[in-house]
């Protein structure tokens, strides 16, 4: 979605790095929710007895948890109930591909409203801020980013850059905990394209708001932009004024004249009027020789044909694309230009905050028993507490049980005091195991969670210091491997052959 093949051009040029979510801790992101909803609903396609609503809610829930766990503060942006009028044809085409008909009422999104409402209830119960865009969600995301309210946008739409976004992440991978990151400065460095240049690309090669000019692809548009940049400061304005450009009308006439004119005979050695035989006898006026001609003299030909050709050559690409564009009487698409370049959206907030979940509502929306919900949420809340993105009253680490490793990350296995809001775990006969414990959990303290060592140490340095010292003391009292009082296994079996046979039988079984 977005500008035709823009992501492909960036991938071919290797613009955009794979970014670990752990490197984004402390950032605030504007999240385009529409992509999550689409991914969730399509995840159930082709699967018998799997509800699209179920997969959608799970997708939205776990993606939100993934961001929160890494200390990212998301603000969720939903599409408005009415799409921009310029998008009507795109919505019709999508409906026809999906449902086999194009019965869409104008540019209404009424069919998506139930999904939006369910996701809003879920995300607000999770403690997140959810706003509804007046139109396109990616436009609101871009505005939040351009005004510095958020650090980045999370969207699969390349249109986000055309709306003015500075940093865009896409392809959220919950399993690998990573995203693909792109910046407007990276696009400028790779493709030599700014925001207004990208609007030119959307206008000519196509986007969600129009199919562009027939026969014009993104690479051709890039050639056009780079050529116009040599003689104009504003490519977009020049392209929009094509229809009334008298200079280009004159150049077009000269181009047609050149096409209908036969090139006179030229010498194959100096490329000037005449031929080799004439120049050998009488010389070449252009070369300035009285006999023969000068090869590779770099003197341009002054004949009328080449003068005309030299005048037209810098504008060849522009003239070709202009000729194609003028076949469409509605060019340029003013609705498309207004959509990308005009903004009337207003926001009353300046800070993105995350609150404690509303547990009863969240359990109801996710159809989860309270204990199962705590099992999923408590580790995330503790991560947020350590990152400093959530005020978590009652977060009391009792002690570090041991050192551990999780997904190749060095961790501490920490025992925590139970939260006052957790009434479900207290009613359960078994305590919640957030991670396989080193030993049986202590009664009344049901939380054992693996947490990254560096993250935990920043928040609780005294507790880490105490644990390190206690580990050192234990190490001094360990028995030596070469302790002569310890009987070796071979000696034990030699003295007890019956036990040796029993041991072998058990291992064979």
42-58 in b/e form (b: 16+ CB < 10 A) is: ebbeeeeeeebeebbbe
Phi-psi region of 388 (alpha: psi -120 to 50; beta: other; left: phi over 0): left
CA distances from 31 to 6, 77, 503 (A): 20, 6, 60
> What is the pLDDT, as a whole number, of residue 479?
45
Looking at the DSSP bridge assignments, the partners of residue 399 are 415
SS3 301: coil
Helix residue ranges per DSSP H, 328-452: 334-341, 359-366, 370-387, 423-427
CATH of the structural domain 6-195, one choice from 3.20.20.70, 3.10.20.600, 3.40.50.1010, 2.40.50.140: 3.40.50.1010
Omega before 272 cis (within 30°)? no
> What is the pLDDT, as a whole number, of residue 477?
46
SS3 329: coil
- H or E element at residue 240: helix 235-240
C-alpha span between 95 and 83 (Å, rounded): 14
C-alpha span between 446 and 188 (Å, rounded): 53
Is 90 within 8 Å of 208 (Cβ atoms)?
yes
**Quick one: DSSP state of residue 103?**
-
C-alpha span between 427 and 59 (Å, rounded): 29
> What is the pLDDT, as a whole number, of residue 439?
41
Give the residues of the chain that fall short of pLDDT 50.
99, 427-432, 435-443, 476-481
What residue ranges do the domains of the chain occupy? 6-195, 266-298, 368-476
> What is the pLDDT, as a whole number, of residue 265?
87
Q: For the chain, how big is the Rg over CA atoms in Å?
A: 35
Kindly report, residue by residue over 428-485, the tens digit of the pLDDT: 444 445 544 434 444 456 789 999 999 999 999 999 999 999 887 655 444 444 555 5
C-alpha span between 41 and 410 (Å, rounded): 36
Helix residue ranges per DSSP H, 229-369: 235-240, 246-260, 276-282, 304-312, 316-325, 334-341, 359-366
């Amino acid at each position: 979605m977005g500008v035709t093949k823009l992501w492909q051009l960036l991938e071919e040029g290797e613009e955009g790095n794979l970014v670990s979510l752990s490197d984004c801790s402390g950032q605030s992101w504007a999240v385009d929710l529409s992509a999550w909803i689409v991914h969730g609903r399509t995840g159930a396609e082709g699967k018998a007895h799997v509800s699209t609503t179920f997969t959608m809610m799970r997708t939205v829930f776990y993606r939100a948890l993934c961001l929160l766990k890494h200390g990212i503060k998301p603000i969720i942006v939903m599409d408005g109930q009415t799409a921009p009028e310029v998008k009507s044809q795109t919505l019709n085409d999508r409906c026809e591909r999906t449902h086999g008909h194009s019965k869409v009422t104008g540019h209404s999104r009424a069919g998506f409203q139930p999904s939006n409402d369910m996701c809003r209830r879920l995300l607000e119960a999770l403690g997140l801020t959810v706003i509804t865009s007046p139109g396109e969600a990616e436009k609101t995301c871009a505005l939040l980013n351009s005004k510095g309210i958020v650090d980045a946008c999370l969207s699969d739409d390349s249109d986000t850059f055309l709306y003015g976004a500075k940093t865009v992440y896409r392809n959220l991978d919950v399993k690998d905990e990573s995203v693909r990151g792109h910046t407007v400065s990276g696009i400028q460095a790779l493709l030599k394209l700014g925001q207004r240049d990208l609007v030119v690309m959307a206008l000519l090669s196509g986007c969600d708001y129009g199919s562009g000019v027939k026969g014009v692809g993104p690479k051709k548009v890039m050639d056009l932009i780079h050529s116009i940049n040599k003689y104009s400061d504003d490519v977009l304005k020049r392209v929009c004024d094509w229809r009334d450009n008298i200079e280009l009308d004159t150049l077009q006439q000269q181009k047609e004249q050149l096409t209908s004119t036969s090139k006179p005979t030229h010498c194959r050695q100096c490329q000037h009027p005449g031929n080799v035989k004439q120049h050998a006898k009488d010389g070449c006026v252009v070369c300035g020789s009285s006999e023969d001609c000068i090869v590779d003299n770099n003197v341009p030909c002054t004949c009328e044909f080449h003068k005309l050709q030299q005048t037209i050559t810098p504008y060849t690409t522009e003239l070709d694309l202009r000729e194609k564009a003028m076949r469409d009487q509605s060019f340029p698409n003013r609705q498309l230009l207004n959509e990308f370049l005009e903004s009337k959206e207003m926001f009353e907030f300046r800070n993105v905050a995350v609150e404690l979940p509303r547990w009863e509502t969240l359990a109801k929306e996710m159809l989860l028993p309270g204990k199962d919900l705590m099992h999923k949420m408590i580790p995330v809340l503790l991560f947020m507490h350590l990152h400093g993105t959530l005020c978590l009253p009652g977060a009391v680490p009792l002690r570090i049980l041991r050192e551990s490793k999780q997904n190749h990350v060095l961790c501490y296995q920490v025992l925590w005091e139970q939260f006052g809001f957790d009434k479900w775990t207290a009613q359960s006969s078994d305590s919640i195991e957030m991670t396989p414990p080193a030993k049986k959990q202590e009664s009344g303290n049901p939380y054992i969670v693996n947490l990254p060592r560096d993250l935990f140490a920043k928040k609780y340095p005294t507790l880490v210091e105490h644990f390190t010292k206690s580990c050192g003391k234990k190490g001094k009292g360990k028995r030596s491997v070469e302790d002569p009082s310890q009987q070796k296994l071979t000696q034990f079996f030699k003295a007890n052959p019956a036990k040796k046979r029993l041991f072998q039988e058990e291992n064979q079984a």
